[in-house]
Every structure is written in C-alpha cells, then in structure tokens.
C-alpha cells in the first residue's frame, strides 16, 4: 500500500506539469528516488519539503536535458537536409583505389547549397585563398586550390569554412612506339576547374552535404591503398636505352631542346622516357642547350 501510495503521489505531481514531456529516464528516477517514493511519512517540521525538493531537482534536470536535445536537433537541421544524395546524382567509380564506390555530381552540391542558403553570391559564395602546383618524382604535375566557403543564416554570414582540392595537371601515360614503351605527357586543361570543384566538395562536406555517401562508404581518396600481395608480380616494361651513339640520339636532343622546364625537371622526364647514364644525360642537356 505504501508503494502504491508513493507511486500515485509521484504521478499526481507529474500530472501538474502536463506541459512538460517527461523522459523515460526521468520517470524511472522519480519512481526509484528514496525521498520522493519513500514509504515513510515526512517529519512534521519538514512538511514534505524533502520530497518536493528532490522532485523539483529531477524535473529541472529533465527539462534541461530535453532543452539540450532540442538544441542538438536544431544544430543538425542543415546536416539532415543536405545529407541524402539521390541516385541520379551518384556515379559509380569504375577504376582506381575507389573502384566500386560512389562519386557525387558536383552540380548536385551547387543545387543543394542554393536550395538551403539561396543563390550563389547572395546566400553563399566562395573565396579562393591560394592556388599552387607541385611536381612529383615522376615529373607529374598536380594543381591545388584552397578556398573559404561562406553561407548566410538568419541574415548573418558564417565564418569561413575551409576546403582544399587538387587534381593532376600533367600526367605521363605509357604508350608503345615500334614495340617500345614511351611515357607521353598528358595535359588536363580542366585541372584547375576540377581542383576548385573538389575544394567546394570538401568545404560543403563540413555542412553535411552528401554525408550519407561519405559515412556509408567510409573511404576517401586519401586512404592508404591496400598493399599488393607478396605473391603478386608486377611486370614493368623496360625503357629503351639511350646513349650518345644511339640512332635516336639526335631526336632525343631535339626533344630535350623543345622542353620548357628547368634542367632538374627535364632530367626527370628524360629518365622516365629512357634508360640513360649520368654521363650521357649530362651530355644530352649540354647539347640541347639546357645546361652550360
């Protein structure tokens, strides 16, 4: 009877706060509270204040927790609106380390930013901070772009949202001429545009744009590739040998003279094209006017 009486007392008090939505955890804590659900009667000098104090403390705590949950849900409102990517905006990656994963159409990101924040220039815009190129050991050239993305919410512009993107500008593709492998440079004239678009995708990702694709796949182009099994053997065609006595020496001199790079970069490109000794490479650079 005492337990039933105390439970009824708790629910009676809860009923007086009908505008508050109690969490299950709060109800359990109220029913388990030794002071609120005590089977002993309060002393005459306390007039039930211990019960009321504990009850009020639990209710205030529950209200504060609910308020925090509501705030958290509000913080995720933009994320939730931008996370899902429709099937028509996804494209399967058919080659490379991300084969079998999905790529997102860059125009869908533009559409989503416009849908949520407004037209570009009015509801969102980007600022290019830095653009630069880097050359790797294979003489391939990559271009990189740093941007800041700004979005407007409730009439106020955000702090800069950083994004970095990159793309190959010059890559060397292996082709065969007269049965011999030759590395031919390939220039991608859309490389700067692709790097900029990549930077937007990185910045927009921080807002939740396309989050389902990234979170589901949990793989990015920056992940370390899986190493090939030691039992696998990779066959690399041998580069043609080049010496000062080779029939192709004159054409090699002409090719070297046509290059606009510095001597170090040219040397790398020559070694990607031919097997050549240090002495012959030095002679080649001198005869082509690339080294005094």
Per-residue pLDDT tens digits for 175-233: 877 777 888 888 899 999 999 999 999 999 999 888 888 776 444 444 444 443 443 44
| Same-domain check for residues 199 and 136 | yes
Question: Which domain, by its residues, includes 26?
Answer: 2-75
pLDDT of residue 210: 84
Q: Residue 121 domain-assigned?
A: yes
Q: Are residue 202 and residue 186 in the same domain, yes or no?
A: yes
191 lies in the same domain as 113? yes
Has residue 261 got a pLDDT over 50? yes
35 and 92 fall within a common domain? no
Residue 38: name the closest of 24, 15, 54 by CA.
Answer: 54
Query: Is 55 among the domain residues?
Result: yes
The H or E element that residue 20 is part of is none
Instruction: Count structural domains, the chain.
Output: 3
* Domain closes at, from 217, 235, 266: 217
Q: Is residue 269 part of a domain?
A: yes
pTM of the model: 0.49
Say if residue 66 is in the same domain as residue 94: no
Tell me, yes or no, whether 223 lies in a domain. no
Residue 237 lies in a domain: no
* Residue 236 resides in a domain: no
Query: Per the structure block, which two tokens stand in for 264?
Result: 């170090």
């Amino acid at each position: 009877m005492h337990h039933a009486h105390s439970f009824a007392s708790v629910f009676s008090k809860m009923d007086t706060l009908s505008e508050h939505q109690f969490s299950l955890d709060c109800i359990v804590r109220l029913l388990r509270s030794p002071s609120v659900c005590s089977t002993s009667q309060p002393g005459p000098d306390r007039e039930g204040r211990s019960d009321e104090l504990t009850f009020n403390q639990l209710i205030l705590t529950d209200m504060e927790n609910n308020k925090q949950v509501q705030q958290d849900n509000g913080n995720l409102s933009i994320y939730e609106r931008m996370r899902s990517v429709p099937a028509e905006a996804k494209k399967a990656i058919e080659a490379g380390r991300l084969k079998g994963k999905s790529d997102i159409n860059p125009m869908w990101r533009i559409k989503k930013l416009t849908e949520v924040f407004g037209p570009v220039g009015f509801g969102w815009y980007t600022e290019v901070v830095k653009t630069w190129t880097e050359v790797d050991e294979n003489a391939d050239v990559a271009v990189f772009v740093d941007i800041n993305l700004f979005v407007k919410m409730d009439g106020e512009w955000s702090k800069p949202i950083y994004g970095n993107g990159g793309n190959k500008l010059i890559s060397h593709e292996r082709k065969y001429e007269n049965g011999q492998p030759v590395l031919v440079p390939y220039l991608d004239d859309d490389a700067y545009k692709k790097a900029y678009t990549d930077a937007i995708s990185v910045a927009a990702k921080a807002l939740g744009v396309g989050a389902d694709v990234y979170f589901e796949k949990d793989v990015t182009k920056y992940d370390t590739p899986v190493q090939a099994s030691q039992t696998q053997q990779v066959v690399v065609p041998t580069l043609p040998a080049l010496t000062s006595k080779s029939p192709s020496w004159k054409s090699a001199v002409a090719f070297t003279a046509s290059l606009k790079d510095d001597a170090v970069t040219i040397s790398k490109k020559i070694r990607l094209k031919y097997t050549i000794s240090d002495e012959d490479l030095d002679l080649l650079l001198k005869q082509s006017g690339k080294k005094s």
